[in-house]
Amino acid sequence: MNLVAAVVALVALKVAAKPATEQFLYGRAKAEYFSAAVEGAMIFVAAAVILVTAVERFVHPQPLENVGVGLLISVAASVLNGAVAMVLLRAGAKHRSITLKADGKHLMTDVWTSVGVVAGVGLVWLTGWERLDAVVAFAVGVNIIVTGIGLVSESIAGLLDKVLPDEDNAVITEILRRRTDGEVTFHGLQTREAGQQKFMNVHVLVPDEWTVKQGHDYIEDLEDELLGALPSLTVITHLEPISDPASYDDIPVAHIPIHTGTDHDSSRPPQS
């Protein structure tokens, strides 16, 4: 199962890394979510096998066989899986890759399984009660299911255009707050993530008398500041005249509020 999961992860990463085309104008970064979903499903299968076997062994306890060799192999595999899992989890966090994180979590479930094996065998050896092996195995299976649920939930959220993490949204809103003054304000901020890619769009309300070039220059400067803080961010802006009531009729139903800390409400036109 680990081998199949690794192949699926490799294919997903190669697809996600392909550049945008005329058919996929936004790229294919979401391919990573399919890989994570597959990993989660495979974890469920592994957990199901463990749980069924645990129940069977609890009902019909059997003496342990080849304990010494089994423990040696289990511990060796656990150490190797743990090392690889840590590398994958760190790389996944660094590159914001859900595929790498999912593969790392998948391997970590093997580590916990090995811990359960050692604990179960140790308890049986100490107490002589063979059913303890099945009890520990069942607990390990439940823990693996929890990991699988987390992976599948994260994959579904990504496919449904989940909002950026709180820390990224905080960076964006802070920049917009600093730039909100008597002349310029913002509303309708929306963000989303797709694999390693980040997207945001916001309405920029500027003085009516500004020329197109003035508005363009302002937005270029704003985008440079946002990209300096979040290099992988794709910024989409919509320029509007600040005193036109129509500029406030197209605010998205779901958006991130930008609290300026002043009496000015960025969702309403200024009063003359």
Query: pTM for the whole thing?
Result: 0.71
Q: What integer pLDDT is reported at residue 229 of this predicted model?
A: 95
In this predicted structure, which of 144-148, 218-222, 225-229, 233-237 has the lowest mean pLDDT?
144-148
Classify domain 2-159 by CATH number.
1.20.1510.10
Q: What is the mean pLDDT of residues 43-54?
A: 89
Do 37 and 155 touch, CB atoms closer than 8 A?
yes
C-beta separation of 266 from 180 below 8 A: yes
Class for domain 166-248, per CATH? alpha beta
pLDDT at 263: 41
Cβ neighbour number for residue 217 with a 10 Å cutoff: 12
Residue 219's pLDDT band (cuts 50, 70, 90) = very high
CA distance 265 to 153: 36
Question: How far is the C-alpha of 43 from the C-alpha of 222, rounded, in Å?
Answer: 44
Q: Could you give the 3-state DSSP secondary structure of residue 99?
A: helix
Percent of the chain's residues with pLDDT above 70: 93
Residue range 230-270, pLDDT digits in tens? 998 999 999 999 999 988 888 888 899 887 554 444 455 55
Length of the chain: 272
Q: CA–CA separation, 51 vs 65, rounded Å?
A: 20
pLDDT per position as a tens digit, 96-145: 888 888 888 888 888 888 888 788 888 887 888 888 888 888 988 898 89
Q: Where are the domains of the chain?
A: 2-159, 166-248
Task: Give CA–CA dist 272/260, Å, rounded.
Answer: 20
